[in-house]
């Protein structure tokens, strides 16, 4: 049996760890509610864009734009949203596993794939496996503003238009609730499901439907990516919250066990001392 002092020091260190994880749990909880708010304030923007695109698709179905055209796929880009740090439970491994699984299923050669990664974990993961990471963003804040990732989204759309890749998929954790996040795959480019957006409004296009698509579609694709990032961030905070809660609970359980064995050891020591004293006294008589 471990000595009293050893058990005591384990209890103390576990207690300290649990204090930290408890604090992190509360920090994540407050970040989560802020992230949910952010996602909510982004919604009206997205809805409006979808409405107008739907109206164009319905009102001028023959309008064309490079971003709407499916072309033979030679190269595919994958945008993967992960976190920068760990301590977020299975958040990163889920999304990375899903993305890697799909990539391996669809492509035989690594040359057909390029990776755009938001978050340090994704960058490290794909670099290690020898994939071509063409863009990476590290250090996105907890509550990202659109300006923070504008350059990346613009470049991602630009490279598609320039023909550097022919498809763009994104992988992220969709926030369902505080205890459940789902890995989601979404095809961003080419934009194919425009006609499915229902819109009742009909508009005059000034100067033309094409000219509007020219402005609207890049803006739409970039918003899709930003929306995914906000969603991913909410999931990250939720996941971190759950992980820290579990860690705190486990620490508490461990402390209980340790305290029990500490008391046993203490009791054993006392009993032993008494036996020794009694034995000593008996020997003197």
Partner 1 sequence: MSTIKVNIVTPDGPVYDSDANMVIAVTTTGELGILPGHIPMVAPLEIGAVRLNKESSTERVAVSGGFLEVRPDQVTILAQSAELAEDIDTARAIEAKKRAEERLQQKQGDLDAKRAELALRRAMNRLDVAKGKI
Distance of alpha carbon 129 from alpha carbon 108, whole angstroms: 14
Q: Tell me how far, at minimum, the Cβ of 147 lies from partner 1, in Å.
A: 7
One-letter-per-residue 3-state SS of 241-274: HHHHHHHHHHHHHHHHHHHHHHHHHHHHHHHHHH
CB atoms within 10 A of CB 14: 18
Q: List binders of partner 1 among 154-173 (CB under 8 A).
A: 158
Q: Measured at the alpha carbon of residue 71, what is the angle toward residues 68 and 74, in degrees to the nearest 5?
A: 135
Helix (H) or strand (E) holding 124: helix 120-128
Closest to partner 1 by CB, 26 or 216: 216
Task: Give the phi and the psi of residue 70 in degrees, each rounded to 5.
Answer: -80, 130
Q: Tell me how far, at minimum, the Cβ of 257 lies from partner 1, in Å.
A: 48
Among 127, 132, 199, 219, binds partner 1 (CB under 8 A): 219
The token pair that represents 229 in the structure block: 């990032």
Closest to partner 1 by CB, 37 or 90: 37
Task: Tell me the window of 22-30, 112-120, 217-225, 275-283 that interacts with partner 1 (CB under 8 A).
Answer: 217-225
Among 150, 187, 264, 266, binds partner 1 (CB under 8 A): 150
Long-range contacts of 154-163 (CB under 8 A, 24+ apart): 154/218, 154/222, 156/77, 156/79, 156/116, 156/221, 156/222, 156/225, 157/67, 157/189, 157/218, 157/221, 157/222, 159/77, 159/134, 160/67, 160/77, 160/189, 160/190, 161/66, 161/67
Site string for partner 1, 16-55 (x = CB under 8 A): ----------------------x--xx-xx--xx--x--x
Closest to partner 1 by CB, 7 or 212: 212
Among 22, 214, 249, 261, binds partner 1 (CB under 8 A): 214
Closest to partner 1 by CB, 114 or 241: 114
Distance of alpha carbon 154 from alpha carbon 177, whole angstroms: 30
Q: Tell me how far, at minimum, the Cβ of 227 lies from partner 1, in Å.
A: 8
Question: What is the torsional sign of CA 139, 141, 144, 148?
Answer: negative
Q: Tell me how far, at minimum, the Cβ of 195 lies from partner 1, in Å.
A: 17
CB 109 within 8 A of CB 74: no
Q: List binders of partner 1 among 67-126 (CB under 8 A).
A: none
CB 172 within 8 A of CB 81: yes
Distance of alpha carbon 281 from alpha carbon 274, whole angstroms: 11
Q: Tell me how far, at minimum, the Cβ of 34 lies from partner 1, in Å.
A: 12
Q: Tell me how far, at minimum, the Cβ of 144 lies from partner 1, in Å.
A: 9
Site string for partner 1, 128-147 (x = CB under 8 A): -----------------xxx
Among 201, 246, 274, 277, binds partner 1 (CB under 8 A): 201
Closest to partner 1 by CB, 4 or 60: 60
Among 62, 105, 204, 285, binds partner 1 (CB under 8 A): 204
Sites of contact with partner 1 (CB under 8 A): 38, 41-42, 44-45, 48-49, 52, 55-56, 145-147, 150, 158, 201-207, 211-212, 214-216, 219, 222-223, 226
């Amino acid at each position: 049996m471990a000595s009293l002092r050893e058990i005591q020091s384990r209890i103390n260190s576990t207690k300290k760890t649990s204090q930290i994880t408890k604090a992190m749990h509360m920090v994540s909880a407050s970040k989560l509610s802020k992230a949910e708010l952010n996602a909510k304030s982004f919604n009206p923007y997205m809805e409006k864009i979808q409405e107008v695109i739907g109206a164009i698709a319905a009102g001028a179905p023959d309008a064309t734009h490079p971003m709407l055209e499916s072309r033979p796929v030679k190269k595919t880009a994958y945008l993967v949203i992960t976190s920068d740090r760990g301590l977020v439970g299975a958040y990163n491994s889920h999304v990375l596993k899903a993305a890697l699984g799909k990539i391996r299923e669809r492509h035989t050669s690594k040359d057909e794939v390029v990776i755009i990664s938001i978050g340090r974990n994704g960058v490290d993961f794909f670099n290690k496996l020898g994939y071509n990471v063409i863009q990476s963003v590290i250090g996105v804040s907890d509550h990202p503003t659109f300006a923070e990732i504008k350059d990346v989204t613009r470049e991602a759309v630009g490279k598609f238009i320039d023909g550097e890749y022919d498809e763009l998929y994104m992988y992220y954790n969709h926030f369902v609730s505080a205890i459940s996040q789902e890995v989601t795959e979404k095809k961003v480019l080419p934009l194919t499901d425009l006609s499915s957006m229902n819109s009742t409004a009909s508009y005059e296009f000034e100067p033309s439907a094409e000219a509007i698509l020219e402005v609207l579609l890049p803006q739409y694709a970039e918003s899709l990516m930003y929306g995914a990032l906000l969603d991913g961030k909410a999931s990250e905070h939720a996941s971190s919250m759950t992980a820290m809660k579990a860690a705190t609970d486990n620490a508490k359980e461990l402390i209980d066990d340790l305290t029990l064995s500490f008391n046993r050891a203490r009791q054993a020591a006392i009993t032993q001392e008494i036996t020794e004293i009694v034995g000593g006294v008996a020997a003197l008589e």
